[in-house]
Chain A
Amino acid sequence: DIVMTQTPLSLSVTPGQPASISCKSSQSLLHSDGKTYLYWYLQKPGQPPQLLIYETSNRFSGVPDRFSGSGSGTDFTLKISRVEAEDVGVYYCMQSIQLPRYTFGQGTKLEIK
């Protein structure tokens, strides 16, 4: 199975400050079709996960532009340019290149200072 490793596991950020989460995969997520199958989800307290970023760097509809995804191969990053109170929750990266073993990172809990 592809192992997804997120760092840090927790993050405490002052509103208005930036935040960054790293996600590393044990194998390349670059598919032969040219796409890199890395996704970012946010699970707010008491809610189901919501899609933020698909295929490494594409923001899903309605996601604020303060969220951005980047990376390639095995190294990926989710950045929040200016954290807001509504951004609290657990962030997960997920790979979907390897069937039938989609796997998630451990999750990164973001709190507001």
Chain B
Amino acid sequence: EVQLVESGGGLVQPGRSLRLSCTASGFTLGDYATTWFRQAPGKGLEWVGFIRSRAYGGTTEYAASVKGRFTISRDESKNIAYLQMNSLKSEDTAVYYCSRGLSSAYWGQGTLVTVSS
């Protein structure tokens, strides 16, 4: 069974960093792209970025709102993808989801990140 579980969310002060994890089971993470989304409280969905599959070089793409601050990576030995978030702002407060593939056929349950002093 395909499963994705996000972890690492929490309360963090503006300007600080946080790393989210996306642990995959039931498939090999590197065989697919991993896409990250977020959803601010009571708001719609926002695409954050993705890391391509191993076959496509594992390169990354980011939304303009996070480019230069967020980094997506993958540890294939652990079957985990990461979202490193630096220089966090209050507007980054959201539930963060990881998903499998560029079509995002499978999603995790999400992890809440709250950026506040």
Q: For residue B49, which residue of chain A has the nearest CB?
A: A100
Picked from B45, B61, B63, B106, the residue with its CB within 8 Å of the CB of A92 is B45
**Which chain A residues (77-92) contact chain B, with CB distance < 8 Å?**
90, 92
Picked from B63, B104, B106, B109, the residue with its CB within 8 Å of the CB of A100 is B63
What is the interface size of chain B, counting residues whose CB is below 8 A from a CB of the partner?
21
**Which chain B residues (22-39) contact chain A, with CB distance < 8 Å?**
37
What residues of A have a CB within 8 angstroms of the CB of B67 in the complex? 100
Picked from A48, A60, A103, the residue with its CB within 8 Å of the CB of B108 is A48
What is the interface size of chain A, counting residues whose CB is below 8 A from a CB of the partner?
25
What residues of B have a CB within 8 angstroms of the CB of A106 in the complex? 44
Q: Is the CB of B97 within 8 A of A99?
A: no
What residues of A have a CB within 8 angstroms of the CB of B37 in the complex? 49
What residues of A have a CB within 8 angstroms of the CB of B103 in the complex? 39, 51, 54-55, 96
What residues of B have a CB within 8 angstroms of the CB of A54 in the complex? 103, 105
Picked from A39, A60, A99, A107, the residue with its CB within 8 Å of the CB of B61 is A99
A113 at the binding interface (Cβ < 8 Å): no
Interface Cβ pair total, 8 Å cutoff: 54
Q: Is the CB of B107 within 8 A of A104?
A: no
Give A105 to B109 CA distance when docked, in angstroms. 21
B46 at the binding interface (Cβ < 8 Å): yes
Interface residues, chain B, with chain A CB atoms under 8 Å away: 37, 44-47, 49, 61-64, 67, 97, 102-110
Interface residues, chain A, with chain B CB atoms under 8 Å away: 39, 41, 43, 47-51, 54-55, 60-61, 90, 92, 94, 96, 99-107
11 other contacts beyond A41-B45, A55-B103, A92-B45, with CB at 8 A cut-off?
Answer: A41-B104, A48-B107, A49-B104, A49-B107, A50-B107, A51-B104, A54-B105, A61-B105, A94-B45, A100-B63, A101-B63
Could you show 15 A-B contacts with beta carbons less than 8 Å apart? A39-B103, A43-B45, A48-B97, A48-B110, A49-B37, A51-B105, A54-B105, A61-B105, A90-B44, A94-B45, A100-B61, A102-B47, A104-B44, A104-B46, A104-B47
